[in-house]
């Protein structure tokens, strides 16, 4: 049997891209870096106690007392194991990836829901993004964006974006036909329909997608630390490479706490059932 030289062509393509689209990639790099840095600047700039308060108030408002208590305890633990700085820098990376996933993913999902052709074209790409082992993204990401937080953010975005796209698409498609018909009968334009009917009704599903996206970006923390994105992933990585079980565990624990807080908050977002 002949061997298809797929890997060879991928390498050639990447070389070509690096060479020819260099300015494009450096623009993306600048933008992403700016976003990550501003998030990090804000999150680490705010004193611990203020940040704690903000988190507790938000989680109380959104998810109730129990989650607020858990949030307070969790964040105090992180502070007490001296990982606050790293947690905030990981949070900045997650926030960046999430914001970008929302900005790209929701419109893409809406477009897919409107056009079956787009849907059938984008779906396999999403499958690819989600199931291709994340490590594989790292190499080209480093090619295009050097080491540091940017390639980590890019790999995270690629890996974490599919759920929000899929669930936006699904949510909009699931809006009941009779409600759409009623809105049309009352003379709603397509944008009124989208913003007053379809998106609000799809919101619970979209938020479920957002939740998954955030969780997936947190799962990329350690992997992206391998290409120098720092934060908690770096702590875990040091634990592994230096055989320091305690350090690795502490880093992992902080990731888990951050994940649980973000999960509980985003799960409770959206309209509450009465």
Rule CB under 8 A: which residues touch other proteins? 176, 178-179, 181-189, 192, 196-197, 200-201, 203, 271, 274
Q: How far is the CB of 39 from other proteins (least distance, A)?
A: 32
Between residues 92 and 106, which has the closer beta carbon with respect to other proteins? 106
C-beta of 208: minimal distance to other proteins in Å? 16
Given the structure tokens 């105090």, which residue do they identify?
A: 76
Our CB check for other proteins shows the closer of 135 and 195 to be 195
Which residue, among 125, 147, 121, has the nearest Cα to 226 in the 3D structure?
Answer: 147
- 77 or 199, CB closer to other proteins? 199
Instruction: Give the nearest distance from C-beta 178 to other proteins in angstroms.
Output: 4
Q: Rank residues 252 and 270 by Cβ distance to other proteins and give the closer one.
A: 270
Burial (CB count <10 Å: 0-12, 13-18, 19+), residue 17: middle
| Tokens coding 158 | 């690629």
Q: How far is the CB of 176 from other proteins (least distance, A)?
A: 8
CB atoms within 10 A of CB 116: 9
CA 141/CA 263 separation, integer angstroms: 27
How far apart CA 9 and CA 236 sit, in angstroms, is 35
């Amino acid at each position: 049997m002949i061997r298809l030289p797929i890997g060879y062509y991928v390498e050639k393509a990447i070389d070509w891209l690096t060479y020819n689209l260099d300015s494009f990639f450096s623009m993306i790099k600048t933008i992403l870096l700016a976003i990550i840095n501003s998030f990090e600047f804000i999150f680490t700039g705010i004193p611990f106690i203020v940040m704690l308060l903000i988190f507790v108030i938000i989680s109380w408002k959104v998810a109730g007392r129990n989650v607020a208590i858990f949030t307070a305890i969790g964040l105090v633990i992180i502070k007490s194991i001296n990982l606050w700085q790293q947690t905030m820098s990981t949070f900045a990376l997650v926030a960046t990836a999430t914001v970008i996933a929302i900005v790209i993913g929701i419109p893409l999902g809406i477009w897919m829901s409107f056009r079956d052709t787009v849907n059938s074209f984008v779906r396999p790409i999403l499958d690819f993004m989600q199931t291709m082992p994340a490590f594989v993204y790292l190499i080209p990401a480093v090619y295009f964006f050097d080491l540091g937080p940017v390639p980590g953010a890019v790999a995270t975005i690629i890996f974490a974006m599919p759920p929000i796209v899929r669930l936006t698409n699904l949510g909009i498609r699931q809006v009941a036909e009779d409600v759409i018909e009623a809105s049309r009968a009352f003379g709603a334009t397509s944008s009124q329909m989208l913003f007053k009917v379809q998106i609000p009704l799809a919101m619970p599903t979209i938020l479920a997608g957002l939740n998954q996206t955030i969780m997936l970006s947190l799962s990329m923390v350690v992997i992206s630390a391998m290409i120098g994105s720092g934060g908690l992933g770096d702590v875990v990585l040091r634990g592994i490479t230096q055989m320091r079980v305690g350090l690795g565990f502490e880093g992992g624990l902080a990731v888990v706490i951050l994940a649980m807080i973000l999960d509980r908050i985003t799960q409770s977002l959206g309209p509450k059932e009465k």
